[in-house]
Amino acid sequence: MKTTKIIALYGVNDERREQPLQPKAVPENYKDARSAYRRDYARLIHSPAFRRLQGKTQLFPGVESDFFRNRLTHSMEVAQIAEGIALQLNADDPNFRKNKIDLDLVQLAALAHDLGHPPFGHNGEYALDECMRNFGGFEGNAQTLRILSRLEKRDGSKGTPVGLNLTYRSLAAVLKYDNKIPRTDNKKKPRKKPVKGYYASEASLVEGIKAAVLQGHKAKEFKVLECQIMDLADDIAYSTYDLEDAFKAGFLTPLEVLRLANSPDFLKTVTPKVEEGVGEEVSPAEVRNVYIETFGSVVQDKLRNVDLSEPLDMISRISEIFSASKALECDGRLRASFTSQLVAEFMAGISAEYNAQIPALSEIKLKRETRVKIEALKHLAFETQIMSPRLKLVEYRGRDIVKGIFQAIDSEERGGHLLLPDEWREQYLSLKEDKVSRKRLICDFVAGMTDRYAVEFYSRLSSVDSGLSFFKPM
């Protein structure tokens, strides 16, 4: 009887790095028992770029409350969900029972996925993309790959930087978009959003990643399953925990969600975005049903057996409905139960389509109704919070700050490069007349700032009476 050879999910080429690891002095009898991916995981969590995530806003500025998530705590939650998805697939799918998904690799992808976010989130991203429009653009995911492979100072040298020098498979796990961003934008109208992909400066690296992972095979789309798991875990975290922050802050209540569920204008705004995320037609009624089914129980229980002929009974029930709606703000146990149930429901809808020829490109699947619910809740958070006046004010200001810092440093007339810290300035001067590389360096510097550091830097540039010392080292 002929047996089918099982192609391994991970091979020797996956563990290759841009630069071979150099031997280092270790204590006698010490043996490093870690896998290649566990070493990558350690390199990530000990990196400055990872630590800086604690100073970058997720939804609400951390100065408003210690409760709110930042990019670091968000990334940790994404990593936990991603690990749970991998464990579930390893246990339930017969293909992955034999060919297990590496948990360290999945967690690394999740922990690293937001490294490239500049200060002030997507508005900081838009500002830097405007500044870099004709010099290769700026995009958060492309910046993540650049940080891991070029900017972090772990291995390599100034002349040949390799960043954290991670394995090719680890770098593949953060490569969300298989698309080279064009160096110049020849369109007359400014683009509304950054182009998704990787920078031209990392194009040869991406080719090396693909060659290592595909091992001679061809693929129309390149997105390894660890990256797909990370992407899905990010959507799950965004659609649940950002809502939890909004409920805790009192910026959103179940009653407000139910009001929006019955607003034709709101559904008209949200439904096309849900459709785009799902990848097929979705009706406004489906989106409305998600909101009613998720939050309607708050009202439903209180309206049972109401006596409409008794005004006092009606008033009492209305009071109970209002109190129940406020409970998600005040009751931590209720919020925890709410988010936990949502995450469990979403994970129950996950499966995989195994690719026997190229196991790395096996496809993570999600039930349609689960995807609709995730997208509907995700865009509920976006439209009610991120698009709200309170956050638009912060983001509008953030966009000006990021652009202002970039333009100040980029000013040749005023010697703006002298504003750079010593190491960055030395690199800038070494680039001589390479205008594109100099702008990319400025972009890298600004993108790496935390929100607080960006505000402080900008204040010292623009404010006479900021209360800050002009002589504090940058």
The per-residue DSSP string of 221-244 comes to S---HHHHHHHHHHHHHHHHHHHH
Confidence at residue 388, expressed as pLDDT on a 0 to 100 scale: 60
Per-residue pLDDT of the chain (474 residues; tens, 9 = 90+): 455 667 889 999 999 999 988 877 778 788 888 999 999 999 999 999 999 999 987 765 655 556 677 899 999 999 999 999 999 999 999 999 999 999 999 999 999 999 999 998 888 999 999 999 999 999 999 999 999 999 999 877 777 889 999 999 999 999 999 999 998 877 767 777 899 999 999 999 999 999 999 988 889 899 999 999 999 999 999 899 888 888 887 788 888 888 899 999 999 999 999 999 999 999 999 999 999 998 877 666 555 555 556 555 555 555 565 566 566 566 678 778 888 999 999 999 999 999 999 999 999 999 999 999 999 999 998 888 766 666 667 677 888 999 999 999 999 999 999 999 999 999 999 998 899 999 999 999 999 999 999 999 999 888 755 555 544 555
Confidence at residue 316, expressed as pLDDT on a 0 to 100 scale: 57
Confidence at residue 118, expressed as pLDDT on a 0 to 100 scale: 95
Mind giving me the DSSP string for 107-148? HHHHHHTTTT--TTHHHHHHHHHHHTTTTT---HHHHHHHII
Nearest to 299 by CA among 337, 263, 257, 239: 257
What six digits make up the tokens of 94?
């017969």
- Cβ-contact 44, 104 below 8 angstroms: no
Enclosing H/E stretch for 96: helix 94-98
Confidence at residue 462, expressed as pLDDT on a 0 to 100 scale: 85
- Cβ-contact 413, 420 below 8 angstroms: no
pTM, whole model, 2 decimals?
0.90
